[in-house]
């Protein structure tokens, strides 16, 4: 097949700052570049408006680079800043909000960094393709990076992922859904746990035509032997739907929820619900609200929130 770009135009630029999304910014382009730092020289292909492709980074300041803990970093699209030390990440991501509060509201917020930089997420969703279980490449929804260990999830979740990979890729090779041919059934694996990893839930998402088949029942029996999860859920939705942990479901083991303990309050978290993915990082906010509520005399409260 003839290459789409026979003679790509190569340009160079230098990174002078970082965006709040931790991408490198150059003064002479309107582009940002992933996985770069201030001082890096970037070589990229010009492919027309909005079609520029990042090609190479020659490090200038990082003679002794900050080594990412994850072996999949810069290939997997799950993380964007592991090449930067945490203080740089924290300052860069919060500076815009800090300055706006300071200039517009004459208020200087107290910014609290996270105590845990790895193993903090209580939920991860892994896409399943023939021969691969992992996360999508940055800016490429169709390519899956085979993930053997994710540094963001708990130790239990990585052990569970290892067990599932062994079972599904070795014993059930025809089970993963091939998005091109339509063959296969399994689309996603979702692993969730509470703060202490004392209550866990494993969710497998299939196409709806897999429900109640002989293979469905056989896999359920095998998972009861392989999985260490307190709760196991099978759920089924449309073949074309790229949605994990949702649809018609059945409980293979345990219950359809896991429990979380916040300040002595037991919360039941349904398998298909949203819940704070970084509860350890959220604790200072909860404590701040709790302290303020003790001093508020008014009965009117306003809950303001946003997502990134």
| Predicted local confidence at residue 241, as pLDDT | 95
Are 183 and 159 contacting, i.e. CB atoms less than 8 angstroms apart?
A: no
Q: Return phi, psi of residue 15, to 5°.
A: -85, 125
Residue 45, beta-bridge partner list: 10, 53
Q: What is the pLDDT of residue 64?
A: 44
pTM score: 0.87
Taking a C-beta distance cutoff of 8 angstroms, is the pair 260, 267 a contact?
Answer: yes
Residue 97 CB partners (closer than 8 Å, separation 6+):
109
Q: What is the pLDDT of residue 35?
A: 86
How many other C-beta atoms can be found within 10 angstroms of the C-beta atom of residue 233?
25
pLDDT along the chain (308 residues), means of 10: 58 89 87 86 69 52 65 88 91 90 87 90 96 89 92 96 95 95 97 94 98 96 96 97 96 97 89 92 84 78 66
Helix (H/G/I), strand (E/B), else coil: 170: helix
The answer to whether 153 and 121 are in contact (CB under 8 A) is yes
Q: How far apart are CA 92 and CA 212, in angstroms?
A: 50
167: enclosing H helix or E strand? helix 155-171
Residues whose CB is less than 8 angstroms from the CB of residue 231 and which lie 6 or more positions away in sequence, other chains included: 199, 200, 201, 202, 251, 253, 254, 255, 256, 257, 258, 271
Give the C-alpha separation, 98 to 110, whole Å. Answer: 9
Residues 6+ apart with CB under 8 A from 88: 18, 81
């Amino acid at each position: 097949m003839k290459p789409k770009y026979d003679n790509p135009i190569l340009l160079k630029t230098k990174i002078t700052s970082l965006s709040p999304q931790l991408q490198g910014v150059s003064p002479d382009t309107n582009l940002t570049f992933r996985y770069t730092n201030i001082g890096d020289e970037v070589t990229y292909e010009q492919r027309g408006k909005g079609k520029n492709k990042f090609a190479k980074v020659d490090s200038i300041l990082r003679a002794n680079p900050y080594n990412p803990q994850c072996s999949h970093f810069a290939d997997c699209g799950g993380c964007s800043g592991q090449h930067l030390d945490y203080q740089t990440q924290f300052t860069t991501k919060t500076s815009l909000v800090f300055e706006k509060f300071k200039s517009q509201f004459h208020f200087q917020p107290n910014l609290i960094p996270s105590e845990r930089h790895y193993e903090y997420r209580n939920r991860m969703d892994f896409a399943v393709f023939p021969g691969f279980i992992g996360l999508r490449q940055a800016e490429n929804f169709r390519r899956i990076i085979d993930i053997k260990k994710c540094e963001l999830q708990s130790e239990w979740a990585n052990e569970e992922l290892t067990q599932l990979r062994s079972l599904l890729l070795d014993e059930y090779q025809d089970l993963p859904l091939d998005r091109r041919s339509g063959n296969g059934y399994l689309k996603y694996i979702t692993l969730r746990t509470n703060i202490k990893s004392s209550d866990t839930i494993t969710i497998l998402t299939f196409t709806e035509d897999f429900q109640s088949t002989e293979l469905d029942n056989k896999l359920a029996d095998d998972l009861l032997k392989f999985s260490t999860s307190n709760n196991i859920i099978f759920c089924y939705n449309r073949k074309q739907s790229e949605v994990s942990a949702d649809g018609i479901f059945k409980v293979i083991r345990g219950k359809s929820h896991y429990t979380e303990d916040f300040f002595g309050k037991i919360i039941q978290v349904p398998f298909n619900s949203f819940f704070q993915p970084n509860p350890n990082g959220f604790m200072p906010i909860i404590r701040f609200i709790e302290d303020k509520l003790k001093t508020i005399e008014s009965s009117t409260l306003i809950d303001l929130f946003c997502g990134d």
